[in-house]
Amino acid sequence: MISQTYPISKGDKSLTDDAYGVIMRPDCHPKVSIVVPVYNEEENMGPLFAELVAVCDAMGDVYELVFVDDGSSDGTVSRLKQLVGQHSSPLHQMRVVELSRNYGQTAAMAAGFELARGDVLVTLDGDLQNDPQDIPLLIRHLHDNRLDMVVGWRQNRQDAALTRKLPSWIANRLIGAMTGVRFKDYGCSLKAYRRDMAQDLPMYGELHRFIPVLVTMEGGRIGQVPVHHRARRFGQSKYGLSRTFKVILDLGMLLFMKKFFTRPLHLFGKVGGATLLVGMGVLFWMLVEKLVFGQSIGSRPMLMLGILLFFSGIQLISTGLIAELQIRTYFESQKKRPYRVRSIVGT
């Protein structure tokens, strides 16, 4: 870490202090942070480290590598600490963030985003499947086109066809069709972001697969760049087929969030109101049958249906009202803004 390699006093006005109290000289502020979530990737760390350092050194800017260990049970952390100890310098800052247990890739990425200090953040997998040589390409695309994010699109993907590529193919199309945010490859971890965009993303559960959708929901501009892909040489993939179902559930949740997050009553109120009205209509008809036509209605299924619809409607509307209260609490308690400003012109 920079505070170890650069013993400097806090009183010096020319120094900046990051959110975690690490003091940094302004000329050592990293332009790029490489964020790598790792879970049991011991054998991959040496080669990945060497490749990343070679590529980042060649870019010529101050950079930092942020490895987030997601509760590995093998020797990943000690290997990383060893590598970081050998390479840290004011211009090549290295951090190992050790999470207390295995939280999952999304949380590990979120921790990396929070701790990263570069103007541009780049994420990639820790298993050598992404090629660090593609990093400069992504960053150039981000800057040249003034984008908020650039996503990699894996060419000749080196994974099993039936269990990996086919589900991905379906998921990519499904996500595109349902959300209207169309990209070729949602699953590629190699991505570049402007730091403020990455740090504002709601990274819960396993939402890292939907980052392009989340960025679009924030009004961000996204580009897509073809990148290389390699087969896993060491260690094992951490995911099986069950992630397909999780993707579908997350997709439903995101669709709701995208459309109704700030106004849940518009969904619940509409459906609830319609249900209530139909219920009231049915009950009214039952009343007419009893009072006007003198029929016995006690055993009529229509009566049951009317009561069911009536109370379902009331419940849906109540749920909407509670959700509205929660949304207000969310925004007001955290002073969150329901909008994002891209730029302001003028004084």
Q: Which does 126 bind (CB under 5 to 8 A by kind): ligand UDP, Mg ion, none?
A: ligand UDP
Q: By CB under 6 A, what part of segment 214-273 binds ligand UDP? A: 237-239
In the complex with Mg ion, the residue whose CB is nearer, 127 or 148, is: 127
Of ligand UDP, Mg ion, none, which one does residue 39 interact with (CB within 5 to 8 Å by kind)? ligand UDP
Structural tokens at position 128: 């050598």
Phi-psi region of 30 (alpha: psi -120 to 50; beta: other; left: phi over 0): beta
Sorted by sequence, the CB contacts under 8 Å of residue 146 that are 6+ apart come out as: 221
Comparing CB distances to ligand UDP, the nearer of 82 and 102 is 102
- Element holding 152 (H helix, E strand): strand 149-154
Instruction: List the interface residues with ligand UDP, window 107-126 (CB under 6 A).
Output: 108, 125-126
Structure token digits, residue 157: 């993907």
Query: What is the Cα–Cα distance from 44 to 226, expressed in whole angstroms?
Result: 23
Residues in 291-320 at the binding interface with ligand UDP, rule: CB under 6 A: none
Instruction: Kindly write out the interface string for residues 149-188 of this chain, putting x where it contacts ligand UDP by CB under 6 A and - elsewhere.
Output: ----------------------------------------
Task: Indicate whether 131 belongs to the interface with ligand UDP (CB under 6 A).
Answer: no
Minimum CB separation from ligand UDP for residue 80, in Å? Answer: 12
Stretch that binds ligand UDP, among 89-97, 104-112, 146-154, 298-306 (CB under 6 A): 104-112
Given the rule CB under 6 A, which of 46-54, 99-107, 114-122, 325-333 is the region that contacts ligand UDP?
Answer: 99-107
- Helix-strand-coil percent breakdown of the chain, rounded to 5? 50, 15, 35
Q: Among 129, 216, 224, 275, indicate the residue that binds ligand UDP (CB under 6 A).
A: 129
Cβ(57)–Cβ(93) below 8 Å: no
Tokens 């991905």 belong to: 168
Q: Identify any residues that bridge with 24 across adjacent strands, giving them in sequence order.
A: 16
- Tell me the closest approach of the beta carbon of residue 301 to ligand UDP, in angstroms: 50
Alpha helices (H) along the chain: 2-5, 42-59, 76-87, 105-115, 135-144, 166-179, 195-199, 211-217, 243-260, 264-291, 301-333
Burial of residue 48 (number of CB atoms within 10 Å: 0-12, 13-18, 19+)? buried
Candidate ranges 23-31, 101-109, 144-152, 329-337; the one touching ligand UDP (CB under 6 A): 101-109
Closest separation between CB of residue 29 and ligand UDP, Å? 27
Counting every residue written for the chain, the total comes to: 347
Q: How many CB atoms lie within 10 A of CB 219?
A: 12
Binder of ligand UDP out of 30, 104, 212, 220 (CB under 6 A): 104
* Residues 28 to 87 in contact with ligand UDP, rule: CB under 6 A: 37-39, 41, 70
Binding-site ranges for ligand UDP (CB under 6 A): 37-39, 41, 70, 102, 104-105, 108, 125-127, 129, 237-239
